[in-house]
Structure 1
Amino acid sequence: MAKVAFIGLGVMGYPMAGHIKARGGHDVTVYNRTSEKAEKWVAEHGGAHAPTPAAAAKGCDFVFACVGNDDDIRQVTLGPDGAFSAMKDGAIFIDNTTASAEIARELDAVARERGFASLDAPVSGGQAGAENGALTVMVGGDQAVFDKARPVIDCYAKMVGLMGPAGSGQLTKMVNQICIAGLVQGLSEGIHFAKTAGLDVAAVIDVISKGAAQSWQMENRWKTMLDGKFDYGFAVDWMRKDLSICLSEARNNGARLPVAALVDQFYAEVQAMGGKRWDTSSLIARLENAEKG
């Protein structure tokens, strides 16, 4: 049993921390900006909650964080009462936030200077994956550090991979989001075309999902897309945040992302339609809305 801190109890972090406690049997202390959420977690799972990230991290072997963006992760690590001010020698910080490769490298450098280690470990699988303990985790960092942290990460994961040095986990998550953006737009156009052509969409999906067009998005989202229901996953606001990170990195490394840039603008149109909190499959709503107009 390890002593673990978990910082950030949003829709992802709340169940992830729960799995570390329940599956791993670890001694878990949580911190959340809204203390009521931390109190609720403790009432449900046991463990303890702390008033600051530093207080949560003090004496811990592993400190996890899952917050919103670069600014948030910098605040809970390097800000006043940040976790890095209290982490002990040899401890490991694991950042499950989807953020930039730049912040991952910054935190890695600071951790090394202070005698502990850092891994960037963004996740994929959405709220359902977090609740089921079946996330995919893409990790950047040193092999020896990864090997020590892997058993704890496994508590909430179905797939964990070390992708390279610091920042590589975040870069891999960018690849993941780039691929999803293109897939969802393609599926939206396919379903929209099938409807417009007068085809039985269910029959079409039943056939093509057994061939080269098959994808997780097709298997899990076609029906809700057809029904115009968009309350089943990753929000448009979050996707635009992630695509912004992808496009910024591409400008730095010279990669060309014409489809990702276009889909990002399509998501901006969905936001303007009132779909900020709709899930990413709501791209089809933009096509349906244009048709009505």
Structure 2
Amino acid sequence: MAKVAFIGLGTMGFHMAGHLACEGHEVCVYNRSAAKAELWCDEFAGESAPTPREAAKDAELVMTCVGNDDDLRSVLLGADGAFAGMAPGSVLVDHTTASAEVARELAALAAEHELGFLDAPVSGGQAGAEAGMLSVMVGGDQAFYDRAAPVIESYAKLVKRMGPVGSGQLTKMVNQICVGGLVQALAEALNFAQAAGLDAQAAMQVISHGAAQSWQLEHRHQTMLEGKFDFGFAVDWMRKDLAIILEEARRNGAQLPVTALVDQFYAEVQAMGGGRWDTSSLIARLRLAR
């Protein structure tokens, strides 16, 4: 069992840290809202700390799961940041969906403190976090990965090293490119089925057993038909991810015409007041136009 710090108890981190505690690891948590940390301590066996630095003290592994690049810097750097509290030889495992650039930047700073660094974004959403069935894509040195992977498995169904630092974030970008395109295609298919007078539910049942089958179809078509979007991964966060992807594509020269278009569609959903809706809300703008 490991001594672990977990920083960031949002929709994902709360449950991920909980699985660590349930597996018997010694867990100390930090959250910007102290009330959320107290709630976690009431539910799980562990303790909380008032700063990232104090949470990270004596921890073998420090996990972070926050909002974006700047949030990540705020909990890692400075006098009260986790790097200041981590002992030489310990490893930072970042589960934030962030840029590959910030991963490389922070890995270099970690090395100056004699710390390991892994970028390890996750896929599977809130349901995957609650069930401990996330997919974790990791970038970083093999030696650091070998130390962290058995602990990460507490909340994962799959953990895989993808290459050097930054590779985890790049793989998560691939994931989000796929998700955006699949959700838009599903939204168009459902909207078309209804416009054509078909039983859209029956159509989904039929095509789900053929080449069109996908996780999005299986888990989102019913709520899309019902117009229910008050759950899941928010449009605001998806646009944050897509901005990172499109910036990376400008650097590496990859053409992402569909991704750029889907990003514009999500901007329209935001303008409709759907910033906190689930990403499957792409269908709402099609219905508005029909």
Shorter chain as denominator, the TM-score bin is: over 0.9
Give the secondary-structure state (helix, strand or coil) at the position aligned to 2:240: helix
> What are the Cα deviations for residues 162-219 of structure 1, in whole angstroms up to 9, with x where unaligned?
0000000000000000010000000000000000000111111111111111100000
Q: In the alignment, residue 74 of structure 1 is paired with which amino acid?
A: R
Distance 2:79 2:252 in 1: 33
Q: In the alignment, residue 99 of structure 2 is paired with which amino acid?
A: S
Distance 1:91 1:151 in 2: 15
Q: In the alignment, residue 3 of structure 1 is paired with which amino acid?
A: K
Which runs of 5 or more residues in structure 1 are unaligned? none
Q: In the alignment, residue 199 of structure 2 is paired with which amino acid?
A: D
How many residues are paired up? 290
Residue 46 of structure 1: CA displacement? Answer: 2.0
Distance 2:182 2:43 in 1: 37
2:107–2:118: 8 Å Cα contact kept in structure 1?
yes
Distance 1:171 1:42 in 2: 34
Give the corresponding residue for 1:17: 17
Give the corresponding residue for 2:39: 40
Residue 79 of structure 1: CA displacement? Answer: 2.9
Output the TM-score relative to the length of structure 2. 0.99
Distance 1:212 1:5 in 2: 43
Which runs of 5 or more residues in structure 2 are unaligned? none
Q: Which moves more between the two structures, 188-197 or 71-80?
A: 71-80
Give the secondary-structure state (helix, strand or coil) at the position aligned to 1:267: helix
| 1:213 is the counterpart of 2:209 | no
Percent sequence identity is: 68
Q: In the alignment, residue 276 of structure 1 is paired with which amino acid?
A: G
Output the TM-score relative to the length of structure 1. 0.98
Distance 2:229 2:79 in 1: 38
Give the corresponding residue for 1:5: 5
| 1:89 is the counterpart of 2:88 | yes
1:95-174 to 2 correspondences below 5 Å: 95-174=94-173
Give the corresponding residue for 2:262: 263
Give the secondary-structure state (helix, strand or coil) at the position aligned to 1:4: strand
Distance 2:38 2:224 in 1: 37
Give the corresponding residue for 2:68: 69
1:278-289 to 2 correspondences below 5 Å: 278-289=277-288
Distance 2:134 2:97 in 1: 13
Residue 63 of structure 1: CA displacement? Answer: 0.2
Give the corresponding residue for 1:175: 174
